[in-house]
Structure 1
Amino acid sequence: MEAASIRREWATGWPLLLAAFAGMAAPLLGRYTIGQFMGPMEADLGWTRTQITMGLTLSALVSFTLSPIVGRYSDVLNVRIFAIVGLILTGFMYAAFSLATTSVTLWVVLWILHAICAVLIEPVIWLSVVPTKFVASRSIAIAVVLCGNSLTVAITPALAQIFIDEYSWRMAFRLLGLLWFGSALLLTLFFFYDRRDHHAGARSETGAKARRPSILPLLKSPRFLKFALAIFAIFMAESAFLVHLAPALIDKGFTALSAAKLVGASGVTAIAGKLIAGWLFDHMPFSIVTTSVLVLLAAACALFPPFGAATFWATIVCCALGLTIGAMYTVSACVTRQLFGEEQFGFVFGTLTSVMVLASASGPLLGSYIHDRFGTYDLIYWAGVAIALASAVLLKTLGGGRDVLAD
């Protein structure tokens, strides 16, 4: 009976899932392609890499501020409207990056406007519709949607580099905006519908749930604070690695296109990392999973400075970084559930999402500063070794929570 229900869900729900998957991939285009634009913009406009990534950092702070508001209104308004309007406006603003001049102020303003538009297509918009079609296989359906951002990492760096080489960095912004956001918009128009279009009754049932207990004491607890500190450090390091991975490989002697392909490989393995980590959490205690992921991250960071110029080792490092970056999203969600329970998961994970946004805003800027100050990215990776190992020890002190096998 359950197998038949799962087959029926996928048979009827895959178009919706495809649209949500594409929508999840769209808002991250700016973050994951900026590395390809750094060199050409640096040469053409005379900027430092710190100035180039400044807009990215400020846009993350805008997202941090506005995301809770969009999340609140997504509960009472039609998210299909959010998705369509958000894709159109964000695609237009991404293409508008081609209008950049030597004015850093204009560049920052463009990024802030892009960020304001992008909050309309935050993950909560795309994930909100999954329960309307998937019940028996809801978790794996949500995991598939979350893999959308890994598609952006896997494809767009190489695609951006091809457009830059064939045309120019300005035309590349325009073509990517049209292709990436246009594709997501078409799928959204045909297949993405708000859950209240077909499940109005489910909304009232959700609203009738008992009021959740206050979580302020929990947020002040040593367990949460240590967990949040580890998440901040890990995501700050990983965001620095990801945004600066292509420039770091170019500094090691790779061509721009070869570097973009290696970054794409990290995106593919990030998808595997999310799914593998999810499977492991169903079969092992979370302490073993988190330690394994962070030891792999430390090993990848340690290999890059001495061996990153060799194609074989660079491939190993990029794939390992992708695995750990993807796995950490799953780790964050699963450990939150294990430590704080289902009833408080939404509150706690929402707070941790803000922590991740701040970390993702800080990492690229810190990476740019270190490169501008010391002329190398190697220091970032040595710091990554320390961060990964220290975070593994810190997470080990959190206690066991509920054993996964007991669920």
Structure 2
Amino acid sequence: MSRAFYGWRIVGVCLIAGAFANAFGLFGAGVYLHELVATRGWPTGLVSGAITTFYVTSALLLIPVGSLIGRHGGRPSVMIGALAMGAGIAAIGHVEAPWQAYAAFFVMSFGWACLSLTAVATTLAPWFERHQGRAVSIASLGASVGGMTGVPILLFSIGIMGFAATTTVAAAAMLAVLLPLGWFVMRRRPQDLGLLPDGAPVAAASTAARPAGWTRREALGTWALRSVMLAFGLAMLVQVGFITHQVTLLSQALGPAGVSLAASGSALAALLGRLMLARFADQISPRATACAVLALAGVTLLIQGLFPTPSVLTAGSLVMGLTIGNVTTISPIIVRREFGAATFGVVFGVASCGIQLAAAMGPSIYGLLHDAFGGYRLPLLLAAALDLVAACVVLSGAAPRAARP
């Protein structure tokens, strides 16, 4: 692995983009939910529906985003993602009616589709072969950095400047950083620089013809891909719902300082989990690792649902952080390893679309069950069961017999 290889600059941009997208998008959504419910007096289920719209729309966009990156590289994805995410974040602090919140999250969904881990993994697929798992894991560290800093920054800034000013400043900061990086640093593929994946010189590479990649239909016909979609669809439904409602859940037992510390601790744990995965990603079985992670998440959610004391909720947030980082990272590693790089954007684009459509239901399921039963016990118990099912499903899959590079 050469330190001079340009692909690691692409990893760096993806890491920074992920930090902003997760700080003010994924993790920020929980803060926006809490603020809109608290300041506008809207029902939790109603606002959760706007966040569900955000995830549904972004999920449907993942297939065209994967194709866009496959044809043109990561530059247009970063540029469009920054503009859309920035516009939605700036708007969410100024909404005065529920339909405006839905519109702001709808615009934000275009940004999330372009800056999500799906876009990152597709961007990096042509750049790495031997170090593919490590590259994706390192780039995903941005999600942990964003989660670790986003909630405290937003809550602190809202307390000082107010909701509207905070979202405006956050949007401006995102645009100021990501637009120059996207324009000046991003490149489509290593061959454009006279290199091959991992930095190997073109002259040193074998000139043998490579087999064609998978078609979308062929990939969907395998249990390998369907098991990934089902397992991680359930897991992401649980995870996104938990992240979205984490601030509100913790607020029922902790004060503002405790909520910030617990949320930051959760993100720090996610960072540590991703660092461990980055170290061993290319040596371990990703399916076995995913099974262990999902089982741990299921048990943790079960305990939080049964014993929702301040200490249990705080400890549960920390343990969930360890699982949050790796659940989002392992699915593209599995697909890249089992289906290859040639058509990764096509194959993982459809897989991630199905996964995120399921994930989109998380905020609304948690919110509606919370409103119907007056608390988070039932949502947490249901989430625990779904994670345990997902752990069994992911372990049942295997690389397709007609595997292609």
The one-character-per-residue Cα deviations of 1:92-126 (angstroms, maximum 9, x if unpaired) are 3311112201x222221222223235544455655
Q: Which residue pairs with 2:271 in the alignment?
A: 271
2:16 corresponds to 1:17: no
Aligned positions of 1:46-195 closer than 5 A: 46-77=41-72, 79-101=74-96, 103-123=97-117, 126=120, 130=124, 137-188=131-182, 191-195=185-189
**C-alpha displacement of 1:14:** 5.3
**C-alpha displacement of 1:67:** 2.6
Instruction: Give the 3 Å change call, closer, same or farther, for CA 216–269 of structure 1 in structure 2.
Output: same
Q: Which residue pairs with 1:45 in the alignment?
A: 40
TM-score by length of 1: 0.82
Aligned positions of 1:203-282 closer than 5 A: 210-214=211-215, 216=217, 218-222=219-223, 224-251=225-252, 253-277=253-277, 279=279, 282=282
Q: Which residue identity does 2:27 align to in structure 1?
A: Y
What is the CA RMSD across the aligned residues, in angstroms?
A: 3.5
* 2:45–2:367 Cα contact (<8 Å) kept: yes
2:368 corresponds to 1:372: no
Work out the CA distance in 2 between the residues paired with 1:333 and 1:78: 17
Q: Which residue pairs with 2:314 in the alignment?
A: 315
Comparing 71-80 with 195-204, greater Cα deviation is found at 195-204
Q: Which residue identity does 2:366 align to in structure 1?
A: G
**C-alpha displacement of 1:325:** 1.7
* 2:133–2:333 Cα contact (<8 Å) kept: no
Q: Which residue pairs with 2:4 in the alignment?
A: 8
Q: Which residue pairs with 1:298 in the alignment?
A: 298
What is the percentage of aligned positions where both structures have the same residue?
A: 19
* 1:370–1:379 Cα contact (<8 Å) kept: yes
* 2:149–2:264 Cα contact (<8 Å) kept: yes
* 2:121–2:332 Cα contact (<8 Å) kept: no
Q: Which residue pairs with 1:326 in the alignment?
A: 325
Work out the CA distance in 2 between the residues paired with 1:89 and 1:174: 13
Work out the CA distance in 1 between the residues paired with 2:11 and 2:336: 24
Q: Which residue identity does 1:92 align to in structure 2?
A: A
**C-alpha displacement of 1:282:** 4.7
Q: Which residue identity does 2:376 align to in structure 1?
A: Y
Instruction: Give the 3 Å change call, closer, same or farther, for CA 307–6 of structure 1 in structure 2.
Output: farther
Q: Which residue pairs with 1:361 in the alignment?
A: 360
**C-alpha displacement of 1:286:** 4.8
Q: Which residue pairs with 2:389 in the alignment?
A: 390
**C-alpha displacement of 1:222:** 4.8
Work out the CA distance in 1 between the residues paired with 2:85 and 2:285: 41
Q: Which residue identity does 1:88 align to in structure 2?
A: L
Comparing 74-83 with 16-25, greater Cα deviation is found at 74-83
The one-character-per-residue Cα deviations of 1:176-203 (angstroms, maximum 9, x if unpaired) are 2223443333544554445489537879
Q: How many residues align?
A: 392
**C-alpha displacement of 1:230:** 2.1
Instruction: Give the 3 Å change call, closer, same or farther, for CA 197–56 of structure 1 in structure 2.
Output: farther
Q: Which residue identity does 1:8 align to in structure 2?
A: A
**C-alpha displacement of 1:131:** 7.0
**C-alpha displacement of 1:326:** 1.5
The one-character-per-residue Cα deviations of 1:374-397 (angstroms, maximum 9, x if unpaired) are 121121221122122222233343
Comparing 346-355 with 279-288, greater Cα deviation is found at 279-288
Q: Which residue identity does 1:111 align to in structure 2?
A: F
Q: Which residue identity does 2:236 align to in structure 1?
A: F
Work out the CA distance in 2 between the residues paired with 1:324 and 1:277: 11
Relative contact order: is structure 1 or structure 2 higher (C-alpha 8 Å, sep ≥ 6)? 2
Aligned positions of 1:194-205 closer than 5 A: 194-195=188-189, 198-199=192-193
Unaligned runs of 5+ in 1: 403-407
TM-score by length of 2: 0.83
* 2:25–2:112 Cα contact (<8 Å) kept: no
Work out the CA distance in 2 between the residues paired with 1:396 and 1:131: 24
Work out the CA distance in 1 between the residues paired with 2:116 and 2:287: 30
The one-character-per-residue Cα deviations of 1:310-338 (angstroms, maximum 9, x if unpaired) are 33x33321121111121223332344456
Instruction: Give the 3 Å change call, closer, same or farther, for CA 144–280 of structure 1 in structure 2.
Output: closer
Work out the CA distance in 2 between the residues paired with 1:79 and 1:64: 18
Q: Which residue pairs with 1:405 in the alignment?
A: none
